[in-house]
């Protein structure tokens, strides 16, 4: 059986050799014994600890000794409920220290003697776990960026997606400014310029205290000598974590003071660079989040900004190519429609909203001898320069043959040869209508094109079903025509398939929508009727749309 002397010696050895801080407190929470590890942990001698409560020691400057004393007195000593691995933060001039505290009540034959506490420095493991958590969080943001940034070919939307991803994980406030020259389709910024003009395209400022001075759409002019702009011109991020950082960056003192007054303590600016072109910059700031940015945050934001910049540049190039394609397409369409006795004519061409490539849709109004007129609409299969070139050839061929007074059936056969010369994959549809105002009869011929629709003077509508001719370039005919009388005031609608086709729908459904749009649209003005039909059927067309309306009138 152990003797009291042996037990005391073992207890002394335990206190002396334990690698963690140990302290024994009596029932009044006064320190009765400590070990070397505890004294070293708090850098206090025994005479500053023995006989004192936690709140009476010098450790009150660094750790919440009031919480420790209350917990020991109440939970541990009075109630007998142990504390197991409670985390305590200890602020020190060298940084924050994390301690794991365990304490339990000590009794002898039912009599409460006090409590024993163990304190271990676990700052390293906690920091490692925090770093791992932050790394996982950053990786998660990068993974989200792949699906949440660049969902559309829209510059402003992409900037908004970047700001939304940054707040609140990385910032309390986020702004995206793009160079005005870039938004206007001009060359990148001149690095020798004295001033740069930015347009704010995205702001996310969800805090109760608004800290962002410029709103979306505002123009911001900044000197090239200001720190963030100088770094921007070099393609480098800028991190300011203290007032001195902001001053050294060249920010005006009044701007710094205004930001500090509103609680903004850390600012990061990151340039948006894609394919060697600097497009703008992202600005992130923290106010409610007390942690300053670190270099890992700068790298993460730089990665996110690089991804967003590629999508913004894609949107910029898309817009430029789309505008150029539309301009080219318009240049290939008729510039002026000649006045035609016995007909009022209105037309619209609307390019596809989802592709920058040139379409092959066209229309034409060709004056013939004896007062007749040829109305033509067509659609070359596919998009791109080849479709545009084929369309130009078809227009030229039709005009030439029409002026030679060739019948529509022969015109279609010649058009087949033109399309066939472009290869087996080429194809086109065409609808040809010859109207004679003297007889008020219209001769219609189709090469695989959607049928015309007529609105009668009484407002009723009818689809004119034509003999199904082969698509141009497939076989060369035969093509059949039909004659149809048109009463004065009738409106003949010719169009391309982009006006009526929708995924998953048949032709009749699209024709029914067109018939309703013609019947319910304004009748006094063909231009207004064109706009009304397009607004109802193709406000944002997936394919190019050509629409040609012709209303018969009496001939004196």
Please indicate, yes or no, if residue 21 is contained in any of the structural domains: yes
Instruction: Please give the pLDDT value at position 516.
Output: 95
CA-only gyration radius of the chain, Å: 40
Residues 88 and 146 in one domain: no
Last residue of a domain, one of 121, 148, 170: 121
| pLDDT digits 0-9 by tens, 501-533 | 988 889 999 999 999 999 999 988 999 999 999
Residues 172 and 301 in one domain: yes
Whether residue 357 is predicted with pLDDT greater than 70 in this model: the reply is no
Range in 2-6, 404-408, 503-507 the model is least confident about: 2-6
Residues 64 and 148 in one domain: no
Instruction: Please give the pLDDT value at position 258.
Output: 65
Residues 295 and 340 in one domain: no
Please indicate, yes or no, if residue 135 is contained in any of the structural domains: no
Total tally of structural domains belonging to the chain: 3
> Which of the 8 DSSP states describes residue 76?
I
What's the pTM? 0.57
CA angle 241, 244, 249 (to 5 degrees): 85
Last residue of a domain, one of 296, 323, 350: 323
Please indicate, yes or no, if residue 209 is contained in any of the structural domains: yes
Highest-confidence segment of 3-12, 33-42, 118-127, 515-524: 515-524
Residues 425 and 384 in one domain: yes
Instruction: Please give the pLDDT value at position 542.
Output: 82
Domain holding 217, by residue range, is 140-323
Domain of residue 359, CATH code = 3.60.40.10
Residues 150 and 266 in one domain: yes
Q: Tell me what percent of the residues of the chain surpass a pLDDT of 70.
A: 84
Look at 129 and 450; give whichever has higher pLDDT: 450
Residues 359 and 316 in one domain: no
Highest-confidence segment of 10-19, 329-338, 378-387, 522-531: 522-531
Domain of residue 33, CATH code = 3.30.450.20
What b/e readout covers 107-139, taking b as 16+ CB neighbours within 10 angstroms? Answer: eeeeeeebbbbbbbbbbeebeeeeeeeeeeebe
Q: How far is CA 375 from CA 119, 400, 419, 491, 494, in A?
A: 93, 14, 20, 13, 8
Classify the C-alpha dihedral 84-89-94-95 as positive or negative: positive
CA dist., res. 107 & res. 485, Å (int): 114
Q: How far is CA 320 from the centre of its chain?
A: 18
Please indicate, yes or no, if residue 403 is contained in any of the structural domains: yes
Last residue of a domain, one of 294, 323, 352: 323
Residues 116 and 242 in one domain: no
Q: How far is CA 471 from CA 74, 374, 402, 413, 464, in A?
A: 92, 20, 20, 11, 18
Residues 106 and 212 in one domain: no
Instruction: Please give the pLDDT value at position 551.
Output: 95
| pLDDT digits 0-9 by tens, 154-175 | 889 999 999 999 998 888 889 9
CB atoms within 10 A of CB 536: 15
Residues 291 and 378 in one domain: no
| pLDDT digits 0-9 by tens, 295-308 | 888 888 899 999 99
**3-state SS of the chain: helix, strand, coil percent to 5?**
40, 30, 35
Q: How far is CA 69 from CA 36, 104, 492, in A?
A: 21, 13, 94
Residues 156 and 264 in one domain: yes
CA dist., res. 414 & res. 294, Å (int): 72
Instruction: Please give the pLDDT value at position 278.
Output: 85
Per-residue pLDDT band at 249 (split at 50, 70, 90): low
Residues 176 and 288 in one domain: yes
Work out the average pLDDT over 326-340: 72
CA dist., res. 472 & res. 243, Å (int): 73
Please indicate, yes or no, if residue 267 is contained in any of the structural domains: yes
Look at 480 and 292; give whichever has higher pLDDT: 480
> Which of the 8 DSSP states describes residue 51?
T
């Amino acid at each position: 059986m152990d003797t009291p002397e042996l037990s005391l010696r073992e207890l002394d050895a335990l206190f002396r050799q334990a690698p963690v801080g140990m302290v024994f407190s009596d029932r009044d929470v006064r320190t009765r014994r400590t070990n070397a590890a505890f004294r070293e942990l708090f850098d206090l001698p025994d005479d500053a600890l023995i006989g004192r409560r936690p709140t009476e020691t010098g450790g009150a400057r660094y750790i919440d000794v009031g919480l420790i004393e209350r917990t020991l007195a109440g939970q541990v000593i009075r109630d007998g409920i142990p504390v197991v691995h409670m985390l305590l933060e200890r602020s020190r001039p060298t940084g924050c220290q994390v301690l794991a505290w365990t304490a339990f009540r000590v009794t002898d034959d039912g009599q409460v003697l006090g409590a024993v506490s163990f304190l271990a420095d676990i700052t390293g493991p906690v920091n490692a776990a925090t770093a791992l958590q932050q790394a996982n969080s950053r990786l998660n943001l990068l993974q989200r960026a792949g699906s949440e940034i660049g969902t559309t070919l829209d510059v402003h939307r992409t900037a908004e997606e970047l700001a939304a991803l940054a707040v609140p994980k990385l910032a309390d406030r986020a702004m995206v400014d793009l160079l005005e020259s870039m938004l206007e389709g001009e060359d990148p910024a001149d690095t020798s310029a004295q001033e740069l003009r930015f347009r704010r395209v995205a702001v996310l400022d969800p805090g109760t205290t608004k800290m962002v001075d410029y709103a979306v759409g505002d123009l911001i002019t900044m000197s090239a000598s200001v720190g963030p702009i100088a770094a921007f011109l070099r393609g480098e991020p800028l991190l300011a974590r203290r007032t001195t950082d902001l001053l050294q960056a060249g920010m005006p003192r009044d701007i710094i003071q205004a930001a500090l007054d509103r609680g903004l303590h850390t600012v990061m600016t990151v340039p948006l660079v894609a394919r060697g072109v600097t497009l703008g910059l992202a600005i992130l700031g923290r106010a409610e989040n007390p942690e300053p940015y670190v270099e890992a945050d700068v790298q993460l934001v730089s990665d996110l900004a690089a991804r967003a910049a590629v999508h913004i540049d894609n949107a910029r190039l898309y817009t430029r190519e789309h505008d150029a394609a539309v301009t080219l397409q318009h240049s290939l369409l008729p510039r002026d429609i000649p006045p035609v006795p016995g007909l009022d004519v209105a037309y619209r061409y609307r390019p596809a909203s989802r592709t920058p490539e040139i379409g092959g849709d066209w229309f034409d109004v060709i004056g013939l001898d004896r007062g007749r007129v040829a109305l033509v609409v067509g659609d070359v299969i596919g998009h791109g320069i080849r479709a545009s070139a084929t369309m130009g050839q078809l227009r030229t061929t039709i005009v030439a043959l029409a002026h030679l007074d060739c019948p529509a059936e022969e015109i279609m056969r010649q058009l087949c040869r033109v399309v066939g010369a472009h290869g087996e994959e080429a194809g086109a549809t065409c609808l040809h209508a010859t109207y004679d105002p003297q007889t008020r009869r219209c001769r219609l011929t189709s090469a695989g094109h959607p049928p015309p629709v007529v609105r009668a003077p009484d407002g009723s509508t009818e689809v004119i079903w034509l003999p199904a001719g082969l698509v141009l370039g497939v076989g060369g005919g035969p093509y059949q025509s039909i004659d149809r009388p048109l009463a004065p005031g009738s409106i003949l609608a010719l169009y391309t398939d982009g006006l009526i086709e929708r995924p998953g729908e048949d032709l009749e459904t699209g024709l029914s929508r067109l018939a309703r749009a013609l019947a319910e649209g304004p009748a006094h003005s063909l231009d207004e009727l064109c706009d009304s039909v397009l607004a109802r059927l193709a406000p944002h067309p997936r394919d190019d749309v050509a629409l040609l309306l012709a209303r018969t009138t009496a001939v004196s």
